[in-house]
Amino acid sequence: MIASAWTFGWEALVAIGTLLLAIGTIVLAVGTLLTAKRTKTLAEKTEGIATETERLANETKTLADLQLRAQQAAVKPTLMPWIDDPLGVAGDQTHLSLKVRNVGAGLALLHTTRLMRTRGAGRPDEYGGTLTSTVIPAGEGAFAQFRFQGQEARFADFTAGSFWIEVVYTDAEEEQKETALFHVEKLAHRDNMLGVVRVELQRDGEDAPYASSGYGAIR
């Protein structure tokens, strides 16, 4: 039986359709593969960003929480460590300084500063210091300084263990009087450099702090 021209035309159409379907399947597969790769790359980038964001958030969480609870920003000054300026010991091992910043509102009038450490069951040992400025506008800072020339042994005693630096301050009207306590230790993860590990704020006449950053190296 001799096939008609129509028979060949129909078979050709079927063949062409099958070929186009195969090509479409291949294109779809390639597109799906490229989409999967892009999705994986985007997911990896997103995961990296999330990890870095979490790390930065953890570094600042403690201090930010303390500022939020303690400064009552619209009404009073509040002292915190100046984070961009590390607490350091001078090379001659006779000088210690801490830079503090007024992160609250209004002037902070700084009165006194001293180093404190616990000595057994007796009264805490203390060592007086000086302030480079006593009037600190909001956002500005000052140094609490302690010099031990000729008293190197006492300097070594103070810095051997944990101790704290107190700064007594008031607002401009001298109605709010309180003490900022900066607890200091040697930080093993920073080659035993001295750093602030906790900040507490205590109102004058009260026995306990009303705000604390909790323990954990702020620097």
Residues 6+ apart with CB under 8 A from 218: 62, 63, 81, 83, 195, 196, 197, 198, 199
Q: Check residues 58 and 183 and name the one with the higher pLDDT.
A: 183
Structure tokens at 181: 């306590």
Reported as a single tens digit per residue, the pLDDT across 147-204 is 988 888 888 888 888 899 999 999 988 888 999 999 988 877 777 788 888 899 999 9
| DSSP character at residue 2 | P
The answer to whether the beta carbons of residues 170 and 191 sit under 8 Å apart is no
pLDDT digits (tens, 9 = 90+) for 14-44: 455 565 555 656 656 656 666 666 666 666 6
146's CB contacts (< 8 A; 6+ apart) are: 95, 96, 97, 115, 127, 128, 129, 130
In this prediction, residue 142 carries a pLDDT of: 93
The model's pTM is: 0.64
Residue 44, burial from CB neighbour count under 10 angstroms (0-12, 13-18, 19+)? exposed
